[in-house]
Amino acid sequence: MIYSPSRLETYRQCPQKFKFTYIDQVPSSLEGVEAFMGSRVHEALYQLYLNLRFCKKMSLEELLSYYEEIWEKEWHGDIQIVRDEMTPDEYRALGEKCLVDYYRRYAPFDQTRTLGLEHPVQFALDPDGKYSMKGFIDRLSQPKDGVIWIHDYKTKGFFPTQQDLDQDRQLAYYQMAIQQLWPETKEVELIWHYLIFDQEFHSRRTRADLDALREETITLIQEIETTTDFPVKQSALCSWCEYRALCPLFRHQYETAALSKNEYMSEEGVFLVERLAALQSEEARIKGEVEKVKEALLAYARKKGVEVLFSKTHKVRIKVYDNIRFQGKSDPGRAALERAIKEAGKWEEVSSLDVYALSKLLLNGTWGADLAERIKKFGKSEKSPWIKVFPRDDQR
């Protein structure tokens, strides 16, 4: 399999979505309006520079007319708008603003020589060519001999920090490609055009940066090609995912959405969720009542000067003992407390193994494979359920 930056990023963001998209190849006609708008803006800029290649400069009016034309032509009924407060026309206008700002900033577009548009690249990550990548560079340009600029257009509403850009993988991959395809290149500059903000950002990668990314990527590809487990990774991106109706996190919601009211309330999963929510609410109420009764029992026992109280079928023993309450794990001052005990040489007398933390460290690979395998022999691997009731997102 030849990988692309977007394919690898999909796996990083959500292995389950990667499986739906690239392994199961589940077709989906859904498209987020943000992605649709971004594609049309990219196409308009492609057309702008394509015409310039043939010495034809589009006017701003011609560029916007072309954008409107392809917007209308490509619009379809499966475009989803997650933000209810936004309309298709407002997204169209946002894309138009991106083009207006870009045109006014860079006209007459003669800062550099354009070498490629939507330029396809394919390159190897290792000397044997076992691991390969491919992609498309929005625009390649040359400000002077021996120097290549890699341009990427972004229509995201996210304003990046310099650290975000310096850690970006996509354009770093493309730099690898450029240096393999044109080894005589002396300098490569990575440039992002964040069109919504009318901002241009730059970054560079050293040989050491690229070597580290190459090794990281090969390790990731090896993980992808050997794993049989593609877990769901929930994030803010879930709202824009085209596979929500298949995803274990949301499938039941979609399966029950079309049911009638009677069918919905009698559906087993719905019934069990409502039952658990009701029981936990009752449990919380009962716990509160229990604490109130205990306080009343303590007050009564003190008033009567007794330690045991009786009913016809039960008795309650009441005992008050000395205790010292210390700060919790995350409280300020806890570190100083632990340090004082360790300095006194008494830590082993009061410390105990946190088996939950141990399990988490072993499973997430923090301790490394060799140590993890040695420690795992003392335990037993199992699947532990975790069940908790939350308000639905649309009920918060």
Tell me, what's the pLDDT at 395? 66
Q: Structural domain of residue 378, as residue ranges?
A: 354-386
Look at residue 329 and tell me if it is in a domain: no
3-state SS track over 221-234: HHHHHHCCCCCCCC
Look at residue 249 and tell me if it is in a domain: no
Q: Which of 239, 268, 298 is the last residue of a domain?
A: 239
CA dihedral sign of residues 334, 337, 339, 342:
negative
Look at residue 267 and tell me if it is in a domain: no
Per-residue tokens: 255: 């399966």
300: left (phi over 0), alpha (psi -120 to 50) or beta: alpha
Q: Which of 221, 239, 257 is the last residue of a domain?
A: 239
| Secondary structure element (H or E) that encloses residue 96, with its range | helix 88-106
Look at residue 180 and tell me if it is in a domain: yes
Name 15's Cβ contacts closer than 8 Å, sequence gap at least 6: 227, 229, 230, 231, 232, 233
Residues 357, 363, 367: CA angle, nearest 5 degrees: 75
Query: What is the distance between the alpha carbons of residues 359 and 384, in angstroms, rounded to a whole number?
Result: 12
Tell me, what's the pLDDT at 340? 93
Break the chain down into helix, strand, coil percent, rounded to 5. Answer: 50, 15, 35
Structure pTM? 0.81
Tell me, what's the pLDDT at 280? 94
User: Tens of pLDDT along 12-58?
Assistant: 999 999 999 999 999 988 899 999 999 999 999 999 999 999 999 99
Query: What is the distance between the alpha carbons of residues 12 and 22, in angstroms, rounded to a whole number?
Result: 14
Which residues, in sequence order, are bridge partners of residue 187? 147
Tell me, what's the pLDDT at 396? 61
Look at residue 340 and tell me if it is in a domain: no
Residue in 152, 232, 244 with CA at minimum distance from that of residue 192: 152
Query: What is the distance between the alpha carbons of residues 283 and 275, in angstroms, rounded to a whole number?
Result: 12
8-state DSSP, 301:
H
Kindly state whether residues 54 and 201 are assigned to the same domain. yes
Look at residue 247 and tell me if it is in a domain: no
8-state DSSP, 284:
H
Tell me, what's the pLDDT at 393? 75
Counting the structural domains of the chain, the total is: 2
146: left (phi over 0), alpha (psi -120 to 50) or beta: left
Tell me, what's the pLDDT at 8? 97
The CATH number that applies at residue 194 is 3.90.320
10-residue mean pLDDT series, the chain (396 residues): 94 97 93 96 98 95 98 95 93 98 96 96 94 97 96 96 96 97 95 98 97 96 95 93 94 92 92 94 95 94 93 92 87 90 91 88 85 88 79 72
| Secondary structure element (H or E) that encloses residue 125, with its range | none
Contact 278, 270 (CB under 8 A): no
Kindly state whether residues 235 and 376 are assigned to the same domain. no
Look at residue 31 and tell me if it is in a domain: yes
User: Tens of pLDDT along 127-172?
Assistant: 999 999 999 999 999 999 999 999 999 999 999 999 999 999 999 9
Kindly state whether residues 73 and 216 are assigned to the same domain. yes
Kindly state whether residues 232 and 360 are assigned to the same domain. no
Long-range pairs for 286-293: beta carbons < 8 A, 24 or more residues apart: none
Contact 166, 203 (CB under 8 A): yes
Look at residue 272 and tell me if it is in a domain: no
Q: Distances in Å between the alpha carbon of 242 and those of 9, 91, 224, 239, 392?
A: 16, 19, 21, 9, 20
Q: Which of 208, 239, 270 is the last residue of a domain?
A: 239
